[in-house]
Amino acid sequence: MSGAVAAHAAYNGSGTQGLAVTNKIHEDDGDVMSVFWNKNDTTRQLLFGSSVVEIPSSGASTLSYGSSRIFTINNDIDCVGDMYLQLTAKFPTYTLATTFGGVTPDNTGDQGNNTIRTALRVKPFALQSVVERVEIQVGTQIWQTLESQDIRVVNSTELPADGFSEMSMLSSKTGTGNTSTSAWLVIPSLTKTLGPRFGKFANQTEDGYPMAAAPHQSVKVKVYFKEFPSSLSYLSTTVTGGDGDVTVVQFAEDVPLEGVITVKGSIAATFAPAATAGLTFATAVSAAGSITACNLYAKQMVMCNEEREQMKAMPAGLPKRLKMTQNAHVTDIGTSIIKTIDLDHFSLYGSHLIISGNAGTDTDGNPIRIKTAELKLNSSSFSGQLPGILLDSCTSDSLGIYANKFIHADGSNFTVDEYGVGTYVFPLSASAFSGSAVPLNRFDSIRLTLTFTSTPQNGGSTFISVTCVGETTALFKGGAASLAMY
């Protein structure tokens, strides 16, 4: 007997199989379908066309750190889909200080015994961090502000592994001198990019901002760039270790760079900022760095006349659910192992929260992570205390999104380059953007309590960022769009 007929031979119309399938077609069996001729063969869509185009920049400005650039989307586009930002940049050239904590590093020639050597290197996702924030403006109103952390963490949870791997590698290899490199990132705004990558015809979804329903309003994207300081100062750093040990130096400035101390021989010392030694780890020289290219691309879709005119003619307007994010950024994380963050301003139909940031390092030089997280709505616990190791990967899979990590190989070793505390997904719904999401605007008090694995280092570039990912509804009526509800 061929294996293909085993299911047929064992069929008796009972049990689980009897509830799932039938071998008879009756007129009243309206819910029975063929897998060989189904909705993928019978469903029709309204005709539309799509292509990826470059969005021109307006009000030409000089590309430089600390500046911004505005892109205006052409009103001829009926619907704007996914947007991609391409960057090419050089980081400033810094000169290392001749003394560090009162100790003179051995930075020339062969490193001597029982000495330290200092160096600069880029953090993971360094080139992405050049973008300080992105604003989405519709008409005269700012609809969405995407902070740098929002862009990074949403991309890490929504890009498939191949796209995330390429983007993270490109944006993490920028040198601190005259080395120039390019990277791209997705602007996670207005469109839900989740869906079956190889889904058949009836399962395909196209989402975006329907400009055809609001032709009288312009849509602009404004990109702000980070400004680099003229020098880098360090926080108190403890170096303990033997030959070849590396200690990461935390800077007081918020820059996508970090210092490293390499030990030769045996060193055990604490390099504390002192009046005699100063705080300087590195100072800038003539090469101040530059942004040589910043281009925005978007998927443009053109509807058929019938669909376009029907959208405009709807007497009550067209309500459209749009993907949206909101951010809470806390720089004062304190020196307590427990931190409670006020999220009262979150008002989206919330799908999930993404927690990230930098709490410094513990006494062994390892990054401080998040041990547990608890969300309270109107003082009632949403899920109880959830362990950080669960939020680090498992909850993403439960929601149907990704838990991408930047992993690179060094010989036979594999290293995970986390950014600060890591990236944690706190679920508010059963699956991403589903009907089980929580309307956060209905709650007067929203508090997120984090427990760290060690006492955080408050000050300098330490922070906690919470990104709320969800939806809002825009009403397209009379040729204009407005945010109708959260």
Domains of the chain: 47-485 (2.70.9.10)
Q: Which amino acid, residue 101?
A: G
List the single range of 65-74, 113-122, 153-162, 206-215 with lowest mean pLDDT: 113-122
Q: What is the pLDDT of residue 31?
A: 80
For 239-265, the pLDDT digits (tens) are 766 787 788 887 888 888 888 888 888
**Which 8-state DSSP code applies to residue 442?**
G
Six token digits for residue 259: 């210092």
The residue ranking higher by pLDDT, 75 or 476, is: 476
Phi-psi category of residue 460: left, alpha or beta, with phi > 0 → left and psi -120 to 50 → alpha: left
pLDDT band at 52 (very low <50, low <70, confident <90, very high): very high
Asked if 377 and 445 touch (Cβ cutoff 8 Å), the reply is yes
| Nearest residue to 235 via CA among 203, 259, 268 | 259
pLDDT band at 30 (very low <50, low <70, confident <90, very high): low
Q: What percent of the chain has pLDDT over 70?
A: 91
| Nearest residue to 155 via CA among 189, 121, 127 | 189
- Length of the chain as a residue count: 486
Strand blocks (E) in 265-391: 267-271, 280-284, 290-303, 318-330, 338-342, 349-358, 370-377, 380-381, 386-387
- The mean per-residue pLDDT over the stretch 187-203 comes to 77
- The mean per-residue pLDDT over the stretch 18-22 comes to 91
Q: What is the pLDDT of residue 425?
A: 98
CB atoms closer than 10 angstroms to residue 388? 19
Q: What is the pTM of this model?
A: 0.91
Strand blocks (E) in 365-437: 370-377, 380-381, 386-387, 407-410, 413-416, 424-427
- The mean per-residue pLDDT over the stretch 42-65 comes to 86
Distance of alpha carbon 17 from alpha carbon 8, whole angstroms: 11
Task: Mention every residue, 6+ apart, whose C-beta is less than 8 A from residue 59.
Answer: 70
Mean pLDDT of the chain: 87
**DSSP codes joined into one string, 89-148:** EEPPPEEEPS-BTTB----SSSPPTTEEEEEEEEPTTTTGGGEEEEEEEETTEEEEEEEH
Six token digits for residue 80: 């704007």
Six token digits for residue 117: 């050597």
For 391-434, the pLDDT digits (tens) are 998 999 999 999 998 876 665 666 676 778 999 999 999 999 99
Q: Which amino acid, residue 273?
A: P
Distance of alpha carbon 397 from alpha carbon 401, whole angstroms: 6
The residue ranking higher by pLDDT, 304 or 240, is: 304
Q: What is the pLDDT of residue 276?
A: 46
For 108-139, the pLDDT digits (tens) are 888 888 888 898 888 888 888 999 999 999 99
The residue ranking higher by pLDDT, 469 or 122, is: 469
For 265-293, the pLDDT digits (tens) are 877 777 766 544 557 888 877 667 888 89
Sign of CA dihedral 144, 150, 156, 157: negative
Distance of alpha carbon 401 from alpha carbon 394, whole angstroms: 10
The residue ranking higher by pLDDT, 62 or 307, is: 307
Q: What is the pLDDT of residue 460?
A: 76
Three-state secondary structure call for residue 300: strand
Strand blocks (E) in 382-462: 386-387, 407-410, 413-416, 424-427, 438-439, 446-452
The residue ranking higher by pLDDT, 161 or 384, is: 384
The residue ranking higher by pLDDT, 169 or 347, is: 347
Q: What is the pLDDT of residue 273?
A: 61
Q: What is the pLDDT of residue 49?
A: 94
pLDDT of 59 higher than 80:
no
pLDDT of 238 higher than 90:
no
Q: What is the pLDDT of residue 417?
A: 66
Asked if 469 and 350 touch (Cβ cutoff 8 Å), the reply is yes
Distance of alpha carbon 422 from alpha carbon 451, whole angstroms: 14
